[in-house]
Structure formats: structure tokens, C-alpha cells
A = this chain, B = another copy of it.
Amino acid sequence: MSYIKDLGERAVSAKAKLSAAPASKRDSAILKAAELLVENADNILLENTKDIAAAIQRGIKDAFIERLTLSDSRIAAIADGLRKITALPDPLGEVIGGGNLPNGLSVVKKRVPLGVIGIIFESRPNVAADAAGLCLKSGNTVILRGGSDAIHSNRVITNLFREACIMSGLPADSVILVEDTSRDAATALMRLNGYVDVLIPRGGAGLIKSVVENATVPVIETGAGNCHVYVDEYADIAKAVSITDNAKKQRPSVCNSIESLLVHTNIASTFLPALASVWGDSVEIYGDPETAAIIHTTRPVTDEDYYTEYNENKIAVRIVPDIKTAIAHIEKYGTHHSDAIITENFRNATEFTEQVQSAAVYVNASTRFTDGYEFGLGAEIGISTQKLHARGPMGLKELTTYKYIVTGDGQIRE
């Protein structure tokens, strides 16, 4: 598709200038964008209203409208987030290895931008601003492709970023929006080899699957979070209840909240009633017959439930005879995002952290901490659930690669 190839060429041409720009210029563009967003809040809200009106007309459900809707305070929060990004250390130029080779060659391994990053996202217009800020900070040109539902909002936000780039001496094409929101355009972006260095999908399971199926450019999968808490037979009941409650209920819609609860059979009859007394009717429990024998409101669980990311106040419960069964369950049904064991037993804690092959493995803490801010990365562009390149929260460093600079005085290979 020539429109998308054209965008790719513009991105590549901006890349050379952006990647060579000092941190001061990149920070200045981000600060300027934050300023412009606040100054132009009225205009942004006007454009956002068009998207909302169209969504309402199409009879879209409330949760979706809620994600789409901007407000003065949301715009202020976006601008604040951008300012915080500029306060983070520059990820570029860091020397991460090197030394002299026996033949006298000097090798320096240095952090550099990935190049051109494609972001495919759904209805949240704040993603456009967050992603643009993180990509600018890390010296990456970004091609944003949001859903058609948010096209007016995304366009006004992107244009302000482009203006901010120009004002700071950076190419406007450091931030590019795909204005063609057709499926064909998205597919063309996924196959823009030679232009797009990395594609990061941000959204639900359907979006991720479509990108993985169709992309020929390198992809980082993010956000699939079928997380678990395993309450070991040696758990402290109070910690187990508090952590399970937090991991499920504190914010059920996000990827680091749990979907399944595994309970050792020896502790089930004390732990489950304690949990039920805290939860009351607030969480729908799907469980095996042993769970139902303890909590009478339990609905029957299916294999499908164990594979499901509910993203709401539902949980699948299974009573297990031993820690090995718990680990095997997590490996089979989980998405290798974040999983926790609650135990006071050292050996079981160690077995769990060694055997569970997830990006983040917890002992006696809530899975909700898997987050760029919580982990001290300062910001995040998503949470990787693949093993290539980056795992878990991806901050600025995860938006870089490296190159080897080798200097000599005429060395040739024997």
C-alpha cells in the first residue's frame, strides 16, 4: 500500500536526524508537547467529542466510551506524565560493554535507538501521547496507528507533537499518525520490513493475535495477563487473603491482576472461608468440586475458565494436592506474565521462583507490582510477555538496541 510505504519513507528519513539529536532537544520537544496539549485542551476536547458522538451513534458500550473520553484533568495528567519522562536519564549513548581485542582493536558496545517503532493501539487516545513521549525520549521515530474510533482525538494530539518537534529543531515526521484506519493499512504497517524496526501492539487479546498472525516485522507481544496466586500449604492466612484480594480486586481490568487462584488442599478449608468472608458476593467464584464443598456459592469451573483472562471480578479456583501440580497448572494455562506463591516455607518459595517461567515471579507479594513505575523504570510502554528482547515492564532502555563501534589502525583478519 503506497500510502503506508510513504509513511515508512518519511519515518526513515526523520530517523537519521532524530537518532543523532542530543537529549536536550528530545526533552525540549516532549516538554513543548506537554505545554501545547494543555494550551489546546479546548480544541482536543472538541475533537474528542466528535469521536465520542460517533461511538454513541454506533451504540458502543459504556466501558469503551469511558476509555475514549478525555477531559481537562485527563489532559493535565497526560501532560504531567510527559514532563516526568523528560526527568528520566537519557537511555542513549550508554556504554554497555567493550574492551580491547588481542589484536589491538578497540570495541565499544553502545546503546542506540531501535529506529522506527510502530505502535498499534485501540481506543485510548492517551496511548498516542504516552507512546510519542517515550519514543521521542529514546530517540525513536514512531508510527502510531490507533483505532478509527479515536481518529479525531489522535490526529489533534499527534499534530501537537509534530508542532513541538518542529519548535525544538526535530523533524515533524519523528511522530507520524496513520490516518487511514482501515484494516488494510494496519496490515501494510505490519509488513513494512525495511522501514519498521519493531512493532508493539497495545490492546486486547484480539489485537495481539492479529498482529502476531500477520506481521512480518519484528513484534513485541504485550499485555496478555493470565496471572495466578498459589496459596501454599505453609502460607500465612492473613497474607494470603490480603494478597489474593489485592491481586484480584484492586484493579481487575489490568493485565497484572490475577485470574486464577490455586490452593493447597491442606490449607483450603481454613484459607477459602477466610477469603470468602472478605469478598462476600463481590467476586464470582468458578471452582472445582472441592472448592464448591467449602464455598457453596461456587459455580462449576471449566478448562476454558482456567485459560480465560476475565479482566473483571471473576476468579477460577482449583485445589491442588501439591506445589508441583500448582506449577504445572501455571505453566499450562498461564501467559508467563506474573505469578505469586504465598508461603513461609523456604524450599517451596525457591522451587516456585525457579520453576515458574514467568516474566515476574513473586513470593508473598501481590502480582499488581509488575509495572514500569513500580519497578523503578520510571515509565513503561507495555509489559512484554515474550522472551525475546524484553520481558515484563518495558521502560526506556527496552526501547533501545546497541551497536558495536570498532576502531583500529589497519587491522585485517588473518
A375 to B407, CA, bound (A): 13
Q: Are B220 and A349 in contact (CB under 8 A)?
A: no
Checking B19, B197, B409 against A364 with a beta-carbon cut-off of 8 angstroms, the contacting residue is B409
Q: How far is the CB of A21 from chain B (nearest CB, A)?
A: 11
Report the bound CA distance from A220 to B107 in whole Å.
23
- Nearest Cβ in chain B — how far from A241, in angstroms? 10
Choose, from A142-150, A172-180, A366-374, the stretch at the interface.
A366-374
Q: Does A114 contact B (CB under 8 A)?
A: yes
A 293-316 binary contact with B (CB < 8 Å = 1; else 0): 000000000000000000000000
Smallest Cβ-Cβ distance to A15: which chain B residue: B357
Question: Is A236 part of the binding interface, using a Cβ–Cβ cutoff of 8 Å?
Answer: yes
Of all chain B residues, the one with the shortest Cβ separation from A99 is B376
- The answer to whether B401 and A360 touch across the interface, beta carbons within 8 angstroms, is no
Q: How far is the CA of A216 from the CA of B114 in the complex (A)?
A: 21
- A340-390 contacts to B, CB under 8 A, are 349, 353-355, 357-366, 368-370, 374-376, 386-389
Contact yes or no, A216 B213, CB < 8 A:
yes
Asked whether, in the complex, the Cβ of B376 is within 8 Å of the Cβ of A403, the reply is: no
Identify the stretch in A45-53, A61-69, A242-250 within 8 Å (CB) of chain B at 4 or more residues: A242-250
Q: Which B residues lie within 8 Å of A388 (CB)?
A: 114, 197-198, 218, 220, 388-389, 401
* CA A212 to CA B19, docked complex, whole Å: 26
Q: Are B246 and A363 in contact (CB under 8 A)?
A: no
Is A152 an interface residue when CB atoms closer than 8 A count as contact?
A: no
A2 within 8 A of B: no
Interface status of A206 (Cβ within 8 A of chain B): no
Interface of A is mostly: mixed
Pick from B99, B216, B412: contact of A250, CB below 8 A. B412
Per-residue contact bits, chain A 322-349, to B (CB 8 Å; 1 contact, 0 not): 0000000001000000000000000001
The answer to whether the Cβ of A234 comes within 8 Å of any Cβ in the partner chain is no
With A218-B387, A354-B20 in contact, do A404 and B361 touch (Cβ < 8 Å)?
A: yes
Total identical chains: 2
Query: Once the chains bind, are B362 and A408 in contact (CB under 8 Å)?
Result: yes
Name the residue in A245, A358, A366, A405 with the highest tally of chain B Cβ atoms < 10 Å from its Cβ.
Answer: A405
User: Which residues of chain A from 389 to 414 have a CB within 8 Å of any chain B CB?
Assistant: 389, 391-392, 401-413
| Residues of A183-225 contacting chain B, CB below 8 A | 193, 197-198, 212-213, 216, 218-220
Complex formed: what's the CA distance from A366 to B411 in Å? 6
Which residues does chain B contribute within 8 Å of A212, judged by CB atoms?
193, 216
A-to-B contact residues, CB < 8 Å: 15-16, 19-20, 99, 101, 105, 107, 112, 114-115, 193, 197-198, 212-213, 216, 218-220, 236, 238-239, 242-243, 245-247, 250, 331, 349, 353-355, 357-366, 368-370, 374-376, 386-389, 391-392, 401-413
Q: A101-B376, A363-B408, A375-B404 are in contact. List 20 more A-B contacts (CB 8 A).
A: A20-B354, A20-B355, A112-B357, A218-B218, A238-B410, A239-B410, A245-B412, A246-B412, A250-B412, A349-B407, A353-B405, A359-B404, A361-B404, A363-B405, A365-B407, A366-B412, A368-B413, A369-B411, A374-B413, A392-B403
